[in-house]
């Protein structure tokens, strides 16, 4: 499957799916294109190092509809079939989501449906949760609300900080994101409403 990636920053999850592809752990995945919504993000360096074409669509210079249309234009040109949001910190329009219905995968640093949104670690600690983790899910029109493919948990220590929790969870994100991507690309995911079952090998 031809995979397009959208990222807004450091891109360590982008790197995780690149590495999994290089290690041949994701035989149905071919990463074809990166789109970032800001210039000078580190994800671009990762694309360059791995010879993956990238485009910058500066989201500060246009509205949501214009941004999404430009992203679709780029992905269509490359015949992208599956999209990964790898630390992509923007909401996509219903137009975009319906265009790629059940074909967009997101990684989120909490155990959804708890703590959706842009400040998952802060919200988790503020709430006093004792465990957290990450969720790989299909994107629907809501915020971090789509069908869950995989989750992984971590324990929260007494002296946990946003930084330490983020570092701890990231290790798990890098494991479940490539796995969920391979499941999606290999057609192993069966959706019944918002419930995901995984076809056995």
Nearer to ligand GAR, 2 or 10 (CB): 10
Buried b / exposed e along 92-119 (16+ C-beta atoms within 10 A) = bbeebbebbeebbbbbbbbbbebbbeee
Phi, psi of 182 (to 5 degrees): -65, -40
Per the annotation, the verdict on 172 as an active-site residue is: no
Q: Which residues contact 151 (CB under 8 A, 6 or more apart)?
A: 111, 112, 133, 134, 135, 136, 176
Q: Dihedral of CA 102/190/151/52: which sign?
A: negative
Active-site pick, 108, 121, 172, 174:
108
Which parts of this chain interact with ligand GAR (CB under 6 A)? 7, 9-13, 86-87, 107-109, 118, 120, 170, 173
| Min CB(23)–ligand GAR separation in Å | 18
Looking at beta carbons only, is 131 or 190 nearer to ligand GAR?
131
Nearer Cβ to ligand GAR (21/173): 173
State the nearest-atom distance from the C-beta of 12 to ligand GAR, in Å. Answer: 3
Cβ 181 to ligand GAR shortest distance, Å: 13
Q: Do residues 88 and 9 make contact, with C-beta atoms less than 8 angstroms apart?
A: no
Q: Which residues are catalytic?
A: 108
């Amino acid at each position: 499957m031809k995979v397009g990636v959208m990222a807004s920053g450091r891109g360590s999850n982008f790197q995780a799916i690149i590495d999994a592809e290089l290690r041949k752990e994701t035989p149905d995945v071919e990463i074809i294109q990166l789109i970032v919504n800001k210039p000078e993000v580190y994800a671009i360096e990762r694309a360059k190092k791995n010879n993956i074409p990238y485009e910058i669509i500066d989201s500060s210079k246009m509205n949501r509809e214009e941004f999404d249309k430009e992203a679709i234009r780029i992905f269509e040109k490359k015949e992208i079939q599956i999209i990964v949001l790898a630390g992509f910190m923007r909401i996509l329009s219903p137009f975009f989501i319906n265009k790629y219905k059940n074909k967009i995968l997101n990684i989120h640093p909490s155990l959804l449906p708890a703590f959706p949104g842009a400040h998952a670690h802060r919200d988790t600690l503020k709430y006093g949760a004792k465990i957290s983790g990450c969720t790989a899910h299909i994107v629907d029109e809501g915020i971090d609300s789509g069908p869950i493919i995989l989750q992984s948990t971590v324990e929260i220590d007494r002296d946990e900080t946003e930084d330490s929790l983020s570092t701890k969870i990231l290790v798990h994100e890098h494991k479940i994101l490539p796995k969920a991507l391979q499941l999606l690309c290999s057609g192993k995911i069966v959706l019944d409403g918002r419930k995901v079952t995984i076809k056995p090998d």
